[in-house]
Amino acid sequence: MSSVNLSTWVQTCSMFNQAARSRSSTLNLLHPLKKQSISFQTPKRRRPTSSFSSISVSAVLTEQETIKGDEEEKPTFNFKSYMVQKANSVNQALDAAVSIREPQMIHEAMRYSLLAGGKRVRPMLCISACELVGGDESVAMPAACAVEMIHTMSLIHDDLPCMDNDDLRRGKPTNHKVFGEDVAVLAGDALLAYAFEHVAVSTVGVPAARIVRAIGELAKSIGSEGLVAGQVVDIDSEGLANVGLEQLEFIHLHKTAALLEASVVLGAILGGGSDEEVEKLRSFARCIGLLFQVVDDILDVTKSSQELGKTAGKDLVADKVTYPKLMGIEKSREFAEKLNREAQEQLSGFDPQKAAPLIALANYIAYRQN
C-alpha cells in the first residue's frame, strides 16, 4: 500500500493565495453544465507512433489552511490531514477488497496497478459528497473503491500498445510490461466487473433502490455515452486541424469528467441526498471534471517531466488538441478560474463546514502542480 507524499504541499498552497489575490474576468465559452449533443465526421483513424512515459507521484497533496468566509466563528479546516486520512482509508479498503487468490496471476496484476499509488481524488470526492448530505464514510467506501477500480482499468487499457503505448505509470513499468498484454487486458476487464460486484455486495445500511440507482449512474458514466465516448472521439480527433472548442469540450466532459461526476453523484445518492442536492452536486462535479482536464493540458506544456512526475509534452507529440493549443495559456488559465468559481457556486446552499472538503478538493484540482 503506497505511502502519502506531501512534497509539493507548500508550493500548491501558495498558489491558493496567489489565485485569491488575482481573479480573471469571466470568459464567454461553452458552458460545462449544459451537455452537448454533437455530430462528428469520422476521420481516418491514426495511432500515435511514439511511446510516452506517464508517471504519477503517489498521493501528492496540498493544504487549504482555512476555509474563509465569516472568519470570526468558523473553525479551521485542515485539508492536508483530511486528505491523508481519507487516502489511507481508501488504500486499506482497496487492499482488502482485491486480495491474492486463485488464479493468482490475474489478482497480482489487478493489485499491481490498483495499489500503485495515486492521489485517490475520485474516491475522496465520493466520500466527501456522501458526508455532505449526511451519510457516513462506511456507506460510501464500496462505491469509492469501485470508481478507483474503474479508473485503474482505464489507465491499464490506455497504456496498451494499441492505445497510448506507455511504458511507465506512477513511476513503475505499466501493467502490460510486467504481465504481458494479454493479462493486462484481462486485469482491466476484471477490475471493471468487480467494481460493480463490490458496490452491489459490500454496500450496507442503504436501501436497495439507492444501490441500484448508483450502479446505473456508474454504468452510464463509463459506457458508450460516457468515458468510452470521449475516448473514441479523442482517438479520431488526433492530427485533425479543424477540431474546435465544442468538440474538445465533448471529449473531456466524457473522457475525464464523466467518472469524476459519477464519483460525486454516487456519494450523494448513497448518502441519502435529495434529488435537488444530487443535481447540485452533479453540476459541481461536471465543472471540476472539466477543470481537471484544463489544468492537465496547461501543466503538460508549462512544466517539466521532473516537475510533473510524468512525461511532459506528450499531447503535443501525439498531435492532440488541447485547451492551450486552441485558446493559449492565459485564456486557458482564465477558463480554469471560471470553472472553479462555478463549481463552488453549486455548493452555496450546503452547510459550509460540511462543504469544506469539496471546496478544498476543487481548489486542489485547480491549483495542483502535477
The Cα–Cα gap between 16 and 24 comes to: 14
In angstroms, the Cα distances linking 361 to 37, 75, 217, 248 are 29, 18, 22, 24
Question: How much is the pTM?
Answer: 0.79
Digit-coded pLDDT (tens) for 178-208: 999 999 999 999 999 999 999 999 999 999 9
| Burial of 124 (C-beta count, 10 Å sphere; 0-12/13-18/19+) | buried
Q: List, in order, residues 6 or more apart from 198 with CB less than 8 Å away.
A: 97, 142, 145, 146, 149
Instruction: Count CA atoms within 13 Å of residue 127 on its CB side.
Output: 24
Higher pLDDT residue, 59 or 240? 240
What are the φ/ψ torsions at residue 173 (nearest 5 degrees)?
-55, 140
CA 145, 296, 278, 188 torsion-angle sign: negative
- Mean pLDDT score of the chain: 82
Respond yes or no on whether the N-terminal peptide bond of residue 103 is cis (omega within 30° of 0). yes
Distance of alpha carbon 203 from alpha carbon 197, whole angstroms: 10
Q: Reduced to 3 states, what is the DSSP secondary structure of residue 73?
A: coil
Q: Which three cell numbers stand for residue 58?
A: 503517489
Q: What is the pLDDT of residues 214-260, one digit of tens each?
A: 999 999 999 999 999 999 998 888 878 788 999 999 999 999 999 99
* pLDDT over 60 at 2, yes or no: no
Q: Cβ of 202: how many Cβ atoms within 10 Å?
A: 15
**Residue 254, C-alpha cell as written in the block:** 466524457
Domains and CATH numbers, the chain: 79-367 (1.10.600.10)
